[in-house]
Structure formats: C-alpha cells, structure tokens
Amino acid sequence: MQYFSTRGGIEPVGFLDAVMMGLADDGGLLLPERFPNAADKLSAWRTLSYPQLAVEVLRGFVGNAMPTDDLTRLVERSYATFDTAEVVPVHPCGPLFIAELFHGPTLAFKDIALQFLGNLFEYVLEKRGGRLNILGATSGDTGSAAIHGVRGKKGIHIFIMFPDGRVSPLQERQMTTVPDANVHCIAVQGTFDDGQRVLKEVFNDLPFKRQYALGAVNSVNWARVLAQVVYYFWAAFRAQDATGAEAVQVAVPTGNFGDIFAGYVAAKMGAPIQRLILATNENDILSRFFNSGVYSLGTVCPTLSPSMDIQVASNFERYLYYRVGQDSARLRQLMATFAAEKRIEVPEPSDGLIAAGRGDTAMTLATIRKVYETEGILLDPHTAVGVAVAESFVADVPTVCLATAHPAKFAAAITQAVGKDIARHPTLEALKQLPVRKVLKKPERAVIQEYMMETLKQN
C-alpha cells in the first residue's frame, strides 16, 4: 500500500514512511492509494475480539510494510493497557447505543490510536535506528494520550503545545504531571488554533523537520486516523447484534474532523454505516459547512466541551480532497484561498454520507441531566453534544453515539448539569497532589523551535 499527499507534491511512500513523515512534506495530508474493500469480510469480522478485528482492518493499509505477526504483537500490547477486555464496550442508552471509547490510560478516545502509534514509533526506530522528536498540539485529550503513548520510550522526545487556561484542569494535569525526562509540555498564550498553526509552520520548515527528525501525533498522522477506523466496525457490529438491523448511523462529536473522517473511511470500506452525524458545539465551522457548503472561519468560543473548541479542522483537507473529485490542483486552490480569505465555498455535491448539527451549552447540560435522570448514565460534555445532535436525526436504523471521554475529566460540567459532584475516577484524583512541569510560550514558530533546540541540547 502506497501513500500520497492530498496536494500532489510528493512521491508516493510506504506505510512506515507515511507514519514517520506525519504531515506531508508539501504541506498536505497523507492518504492511502485506495481504501480496501471489506464488504465480503463483515461476517467473519463480527465474531472477532477487538484486537483481532484491529489486526484485520489495519493490515489492509499496512500492506507488506511489516509482518502480520509483528502487527499482531503491536496491537495486543497497545490494548493490554485498557481496563476492559472489550476495549470498546457498547451498551444501550435509551433509544441509542453508547460506544465507550475512554477505557485507556488517559480515559479518552485518543488512547485507542495513540497507544498504538507510540508502539509503532518504537517499532520503526528499533528497525531503522535513529531518533524521533514529536511535536503536537492539543485542545485537551490528544496531548495526554500522546504523552502516555511514548513516555519513557528510548530515542523519543515529545513536545506538546496546549492553549494556556483553555483545557480542563484535569486534562492539563494529565500532561504536566508526567515526570519522564522525555516529556515537555508547552502552554501557549492563545487558542488551540494558534498551536495547530504553529505546528504546521514548524513541520513546513523542511530543513528543521529533517534536522530534528520531527514526528507528528496529531491526527495529521495517518496512523492516528487508521487506528480509529476499527471501532466504527466494532460498534456497528455490536448494535447490529443487539437489534438485527442491517446498518446503523453513528453520531460523532468532533472539532478537528479526524474522528469522523475515520468513520468516513470505514463506511467507504463497506462498514454497515448508513449515515454519519457530525456534531459540533458553538464552534460550528464544520456543521455550518455541511449545511451550507461554506467553510468560513469564526472566533473560538470557550465551552464546556473544550476539546471541540476549534475553528480550523486539520483533517478537513482529507475529506475535501474526495469532495472535489480527488483533484489536487483544485484542493490546493481552495486551501490557498482559505489561508488568504478565511472562507471558501465548495459547490461540489456531497455524497450524503455525512449530516451535521450543532449542540450549544444549554443543550449539552440538558442532555447530561436527562440521560442521568432517565438512564443513570453520566455523559461527558463532548458525548452529550453528540447525543443531543443525534436526537435531531431520526432514522429506521439504530444510532450509535461515540462516548469520547470519561465524565470525571469534566467534573465541573457534570456538577453544573446534575447538581451533584459525582464524576470521579481514582486515576484522576491521584493527579491532584502531583507536581507539574510546563513552560509558557508565545505561539510563534521561532519561539517554539528555539525552545525545542535548547531542550534537546540538554538531553
């Protein structure tokens, strides 16, 4: 399997090179030459355990880049860190099904991809030698999941930027209390979009990228998206088993478009998914696009679901490439226009797979309260956005909503919604007494590069 850039400016590369490249060297995002067709494999796949299913889904994209035995060992090691053998439990919640993606070490869905990616990085370095310096930007959960995926690993340093004061206190502590010497946390004076902008600027400085062996853990890295494809098949199978339905629809709370793009890939492979429901909070650039065809920048609005407080969705380019008929020249034109004018209009028709809606703070709180009172289930605010929006899309098939984080990560929002301080988890409680390590920096390329260079000199 070969990988190419959405912008058409690089020669195709193999899977392991794509993983290590992260952001394509021409500034685009990497995609596989094709999506494997899984339609004739669904009956066999639905009886597999989660790790077994992951191997089957992943190996179609890995190709001959690694032996299946090696891939199996990586997958098994990655999901052995989860607190349930199911990895992703799926259970009914009123008229919906909830797929719990938060049973990894940092209690967020990002663990599903980043435990695998951390082990994959280590595997490549063992095979090829060398070192890797990871630079990431997080709106909350990616940072801690990435850190826990590579902490203490030989030959790897990780630098994570997060918006100062704009992630939850527990999300920040999950990053800044990790004591390993290869972990470096950078609070940037701005929004997540500022951090994401700097990330792309640093990666587009190709001499710096090569000299310092930069790697990406954000969902610009194809392996991040790929690992998430698995749970769409898994969740659809579980809902089908419970209802006998021929297909499902899946509601996805998203701000950066990586999670729902994984669902798009799964559907294109033949997963029994009738529709994907994109759910945003007040930062609704994506839901506005899918309802109007206009992608226009707004101002980031802090909400109860901070991991979705994003206006520039880094994975949108991957979807846009397919929306414009896989035309790299057209894509480059659109991305240049957006960079200059902060607005593009895309008249090319949608295939109808993705529907979209917006859930505001009032809807989020009301949904948390209602689900707790009627079902006894606590939803974190991101999942509540997904459930709230899903209720607007009635269908004749079951609806699965992705639960992206443990509610204890957002205890203040839960207390506000239900009137009781009941969202706790022992892993998070233990963080409150630990010392923190972080630096405060301006979100400027030169500032971040200087910090990385000085830090690496000392290590």
Instruction: State pLDDT tens for residues 373-386.
Output: 999 999 999 999 99
Residue 2 has pLDDT above 90, yes or no: yes
Percentage of the chain lying above the pLDDT 90 cut: 88
| 40 pLDDT more than 80 | yes
Active site residue 110: yes
Quick one: which H or E segment has residue 197? helix 192-204
| Closest C-alpha to 381, from 399, 354, 400, 362 | 362
pLDDT in the model for residue 219: 82
Domains of the chain: 90-107+223-425 (3.40.50.1100)
By DSSP bridging, strand 132-137 and strand 96-100 are unpaired
- Tell me the average pLDDT of the chain: 95
Q: Name the band, by pLDDT with cuts 50, 70 and 90, for residue 243.
A: very high
Q: What is the pLDDT of residue 454?
A: 96
Q: What is the pLDDT of residues 113-151, one digit of tens each?
A: 999 999 999 999 999 999 999 999 987 778 899 999 999
Among residues 41, 110, 154, 370, the one annotated as catalytic is: 110
Helix pair 316-323, 328-341: axis angle to 10 deg: 130
How confident is the model over 446-455, as a mean pLDDT? Answer: 96
Distance of alpha carbon 102 from alpha carbon 254, whole angstroms: 15
Bridge partners of 216, per DSSP, are: 135
Q: What is the mean pLDDT of residues 218-234?
A: 94
Q: How far apart are CA 203 and CA 20, in angstroms?
A: 12
Q: Is the model's pLDDT at 459 over the cut of 80?
A: no
In sequence order, which ranges of 7-67 are alpha helices (DSSP H)?
A: 15-21, 42-45, 50-62
- How many CA atoms lie within 13 Å of 193's alpha carbon, on the beta-carbon side? 16
Task: List CB contacts of 163: < 8 A, sequence separation 6 or more.
Answer: 139, 187, 188, 190, 191, 192, 194, 195
389-436: pLDDT as tens digits: 999 998 999 999 999 999 999 999 999 999 999 999 999 999 988 999
For the segment 156-206, what is each residue's pLDDT rounded down to a tens digit?
999 999 999 888 888 899 999 999 999 999 999 999 889 989 999 999 999
- Contact at 8 Å (CB) between 62 and 365? no
pTM of the model: 0.93
Residues 407/378, Cβ–Cβ less than 8 Å? yes
